[in-house]
Chains A and B, each alone.
Chain A
Amino acid sequence: MTILRAQDLTLGYGRQSVVHDVSLDVTGGGVGLIGESGSGKTTLARAFLGLLKPQKGTIWYGGQDLKKADMRAFRRDVQPVFQAESLNPRRRVGASIAEGLPDRARVGELMEQVGLDPALAVRRPHELSGGQRQRVVIARALAVGPKLLILDEPTSALDVTVQAKVLDLLAGLDTERLLITHNLAVVGRLCRTSHVLFAGRVVESGPTAELLAAPAHPYTKALRDAVPTLGGQPPQAGTSAPPAETGCPFRSRCPLAVPECERAPELREVGEGRTVACHRAEDVLTGP
């Protein structure tokens, strides 16, 4: 089931574009958008939330162009979960949760649903811990009964022990989710399929487990290898050179770059449900 679909989406601010020709489906089972700062992942999230108009391309929502869709229904269906800092510092958290509700009757119920004591409703955000604030943000989003949550780095500001509990909460919700993050571990837990973004382009897509176990794009591989694991090898430096302006954007960092990479690679299939934009995907898949 496809809830949202991006088709040839180009996004940006003013005349600059930060996302180029992205096409992807938000389907059931959780979808991850993986990227580092500057990858355009947050811009893409804003477009999916209807907060940013595409410069080019279309967002489809239930078979309709989002530009022409019934925004009231859309707002009920699609809700964001931003970082814990997305609460108005001057409002009591109960009032923040009630914002999408006709009255306050359900605030307590929602707070219990996300594991918060309803008595906390009268507090202001700075009187709560980071984990509690993140739960408030989730409760606010759940208030309108959405079908899809768009999660933008929902746990990256939290301590690890708190992170684990918030992830449990998110995994247990019966809404679909689009998760935007730089954290590969989080994607593994919450998303069946994932897309890796580099410099505003999707460079690799596929089932999350396969993507992480055997990356087909050298960037996905570099990203995976840079994540430290308990008792593992220290992360190895690649390079963080700026993306190339022409051809494959990753070639300025790529250890496998060849002259052919001056020609931009198209997304192509490299297996069941897997696509990659790399001329040397086969070498990456079979490499060390």
Chain B
Amino acid sequence: MIEVRDLEVRYGARTVARVPELDVAAGECVAIVGESGSGKSTTLMSLLGLTENADVSGSIKVCGLDVRTASPRELRAIRGARAALVMQSPQAALSPTTRLGTLMRRALKLHGVTADPVAAVKAVMLDPAILRRYPHEISGGQAQRFAIALAIALGAGVVLADEPTSALDVTVQAEVITVLRRLQRERDLAILLVSHDLALVSTIADRVLVMKDGEVVESGPAARVLADPSHPYTRDLLEATP
């Protein structure tokens, strides 16, 4: 679903992220782990063509579309409908005066998709009554799950999640993660997860990329990276993780 080769994102003379290889297949969860300034979010943004004012080189294919050469119209068709972005605080992106149900129906209509909003919110373990609510009436964890519901209603095959749970309490985080994992299994969803939390990542990711200062310092199956880290930075991270 995602195929990246020799990606390089530069702002002026500064290289912010360099990723030689990144693949995410359907039903797979791949995680990019790193601390602030590692370039992990930039990498994720570049996959949807959202890095403004940046020079991007290399090849990026998302759902078969070459992101770098795609027209704005093609990109728009991909974003949201095929590859959904889940951010740290999705509430900021929900129009405050629109009920969630209305919002979902509009999004479905815009992308010409027929889907049942009730089924979609049930799939993320939310009460369908939430569709009558306004964005400020729901909690952070509910907003996060609603964002995922929107993605699956639109038929997204890929979810790109940028620190989707780091603003949430651990018990709420558990709910969001459970939902993501279930969808990954049941709908063959491909998940690209960007996180600073190595412990969380280690429990759900199939493969892990560790980034530091814009470079991928280590990558491989999650179990291997945990058991036998080859880069000193990965060992530092492992040691610092409680």
Contact = CB atoms under 8 A, between A and B. Distances in A.
Interface of A: 36-37, 130, 159-164, 182, 185-186, 188, 222-223, 225-240
Interface string B126-153: 0000000000000101000000000000
Chain A interface, DSSP helix/strand/loop, else mixed: loop
B178 A36 contact: no
Nearest to A37: B169
Contact of A231 (B139, B171, B177, B226): B226
B223 A231 contact: yes
Interface stretch (B55-63, B98-106, B234-242): B234-242
Given A130-B36, A159-B35, A230 B238 contact: yes
Contacts of A235: 170, 173-174, 177-178, 200, 203
A37 to B, nearest CB: 6
B107 interface: no
Interface of B: 35-36, 125, 139, 141, 169-175, 177-179, 181, 196-200, 202-204, 223, 226-227, 236-242
B240 A234 contact: no
17 contacts: A159-B36, A159-B196, A161-B236, A222-B171, A223-B170, A225-B174, A226-B174, A227-B170, A227-B199, A230-B199, A234-B181, A235-B173, A236-B178, A237-B178, A238-B171, A240-B169, A240-B171
Contacts of A182: 169-170
A122 B239 CA distance: 34
B170 A226 contact: yes
A206 B198 CA distance: 29
Contacts of B196: 159-160
Contacts of A236: 174, 178
Nearest to A185: B242
A164 B172 CA distance: 24
A237 B202 CA distance: 17
Given A36-B169, A237-B179, 18 more contacts: A36-B170, A130-B36, A161-B236, A161-B237, A162-B35, A163-B240, A164-B239, A226-B170, A226-B173, A228-B202, A228-B203, A229-B203, A234-B177, A235-B177, A235-B203, A236-B174, A237-B125, A237-B175
Contact of B202 (A162, A222, A231, A239): A231
Mostly, the B contact residues are helix
Contacts of A230: 198-199, 202, 226, 238, 241
Contact of B240 (A161, A225, A231, A233): A161
A238 B174 contact: yes
A223 B196 CA distance: 20
Nearest to B181: A234
Contact of A160 (B139, B181, B241): B241
A237 B174 contact: yes
Given A160-B241, A161-B237, A239-B175, A234 B203 contact: yes
B176 to A, nearest CB: 8
A225 B170 CA distance: 9
Nearest to B199: A228
Choose among B36, B237, B238, B239 the residue with the greatest number of A CB atoms under 10 Å from its CB: B36
A185 B239 CA distance: 13
B203 A231 contact: yes
Nearest to B141: A240
A233 B197 CA distance: 15
Contacts of B170: 36, 182, 223, 226-227, 235
Shortest beta-carbon contacts, A-B, top 6: A185-B242, A235-B174, A159-B35, A36-B169, A237-B178, A226-B170
Nearest to A253: B171
A240 B35 contact: no
Contacts of B177: 234-235, 237
A223 B226 CA distance: 24
Contacts of A238: 171, 174-175
A161 B236 CA distance: 7
B139 A240 contact: yes
